[in-house]
A = this chain, B = another copy of it.
Amino acid sequence: MSFEVGVLAYPAGSCLVSFGNTKVLCAASIEEGVPPFIEQEGEGWLTAEYAMLPASVPEGRKRRERDSRAVEIQRFIGRSLRAALDRTRLGPYTIVIDCDVLQADGGTRTAAISGGWVALYQALEKLAELHGVEGPEYFLAGQVAAVSVGIVEGQLVADLDFAHDLAAQVDMNVVMCDDRLVEVQGNGEKGAFTREELDAMLDLAAQEIGLIYEAQRAALGLA
């Protein structure tokens, strides 16, 4: 697991995140204005876009079209990262987090959220300078990271790679903001699961997310 910051010259924040063979390029851009449905609230907004490069997948080239799965994933990323933000302090700006998967070996959406938070942090540094406030913490509601966990052949597994993903009876994405839960998405289409199994997956997820928090902070040079 690694986070490389500042890899792109033009956007306000950027981060290349690697989780095993999975590599996602995250960029945070600041745009003026907010979408119409949020206008009256007087707050800012954050949205995400997610796409996979055609040559990113092991099983043969993927077509370049926007599929509904990508839209579902980017809504998930957007919701998760909005939880990191105090939108009432953002002003009339929209932060766009572009997550482009360069290489996909499972867990791309959780890598995107974790890397997206790093790019967002950088963008908030720029915004803080611009607005003359103390630092990015002014806009931040917390630190966000995500992990995928699952049950494969009866065993708990974190960070499912592509091979594990196919074999998983249950797979679950967990997003946390500091020590609270933001999203829990568990799916047992291939084998329903018990409350005990759910509890064990959530424990493992919390532990893994702790490690990701440390790596995010190290990459940003935070204590």
Contacts and interface: CB of A to CB of B under 8 A. Distances in A.
Interface centre among A53, A83, A183, A194 (most CB of B within 10 A): A53
Contact of A102 (B25, B64, B172, B186): B25
A68 B68 CA distance: 6
The count of identical subunits is 6
Contacts of A134: none
Interface of A: 8-11, 14, 21, 25, 27, 29, 31, 49, 51, 53-58, 60-61, 64, 66, 68, 71-72, 75, 79-80, 82-83, 96, 98, 100, 102-103, 142, 172, 176-178, 180-189, 192-195, 198, 202
Given A79-B187, A194-B180, A10 B58 contact: yes
Given A71-B72, A182-B188, 7 more contacts: A8-B56, A9-B103, A27-B55, A100-B100, A181-B194, A184-B198, A195-B202
24 contacts: A8-B56, A9-B58, A10-B56, A11-B55, A14-B55, A29-B54, A31-B60, A49-B64, A51-B64, A53-B100, A55-B98, A61-B96, A64-B66, A79-B187, A82-B189, A177-B192, A180-B188, A180-B194, A182-B189, A183-B186, A183-B187, A184-B186, A185-B186, A195-B202
